[in-house]
Structures are given as structure tokens and as C-alpha cells.
Amino acid sequence: YDLTHRIEKRIEEFTNVDTTHGREDLVELLLTIGYSGKTAYYSFIDKYLSSDDAIIVKYAIKAAGLTRQDSFIAKLIHLMSKKTYHDEVLKALKQYGQHIVNELYNLDGDEVLDDKTRGMIPELIESFKTKKSLVLLLRLLKSKNVSVRMNAASVLEKLKNKDIKLKLSNKLSLIHI
């Protein structure tokens, strides 16, 4: 079907100042690039992650999640704290699978995340029942920020109530899953 050629042609049309396209055409192209797996065109998605049009940004977020490309993680995490995009970013980051837990663990360890973003991490990693996600939740319990601690405690409580067999030592370190 010569998808590469069709994507190139569509991108060229969007970069041509003389032509006008509707929002639907742009959304379709963003999602096509996301589904295609053609890394050469990911910069087109990246460009629209910072658009002024909230609807376009939401579809760019979805397309970025479809790619599961590491280069989008930092931008998606940055967008997570914006209420307008919160749900879309959570869905996109969950598509990265357990890999996102490792990335968040490293970012949190490097202390580059602000408290608002750290407070949203528990909601994101709740679905990943891995040792590292639990260790990250326990690390967030030690935060100085009350809302971060509350969110982490809430997720740990939900996991406990779902009968996930967690054994925690008195020092809040993970012993066995």
C-alpha cells in the first residue's frame, strides 16, 4: 500500500502554506503515524504535542502513546500535570507497559519530577503489579508532600484490598510479591 509514500505526501501537504486542511485530516495523519511505527515521522507528532489547539494535542498524545517511543516519555510526563490532558496522558503512558514504571522510578530517583507530577504517579502505576512499581509507591510514601503521600497510600490500600499478596516488612521495604 506504500504507506511511507502516502505519509510523506500528507506531511508535505501540511507543511505547504498554500493548502488548508481541516482538523480531522491532521488527527488522521497523527494517528496514522502513531500506528505505522515509522520512526522517521515521529517528529511530526512531537511538533503537535505543543500545539495551541487542545484537541490536536490530545490526539498527538494518543499518537505518541501508540509509538511507545522513549523520546516522548518526558514530554508526556510534563503534560500529565495539565488537567486538560491528564486522562489522555495516563492512557498513553500505560501503553508503554511496565517499561514506564522503570522510567518513572529512575526519574523519581533523580528528583526531577515536581510534586504535582509525583502525585499523579500512583494513579499511573496502579495497574502494574510489579516489584518495582510497589517499591516506587513505597518511595512516594516517604515524600514530604502530603498529596503525594496520600495518593501513594490510597493506591497501596486499593492493591491490598484487591487481595494482591503483598508482604511488607516493618521498614516498609518490599520482601515478597
Rounded to two decimals, what is the model's pTM? 0.84
Positive or negative, the CA dihedral 74, 76, 79, 83 is: negative
Contact at 8 Å (CB) between 31 and 63?
Answer: yes
β-pair partners for 176 = 167
Say how far apart CA 114 and CA 126 lie, in whole Å. Answer: 19
User: What rounded mean pLDDT belongs to the chain?
Assistant: 87
Confidence band of 128 (pLDDT split at 50, 70, 90): confident
- 63-67, 90-94, 112-116, 170-174: the lowest-pLDDT one: 170-174
Whether the pLDDT of residue 5 is over 80: the answer is yes
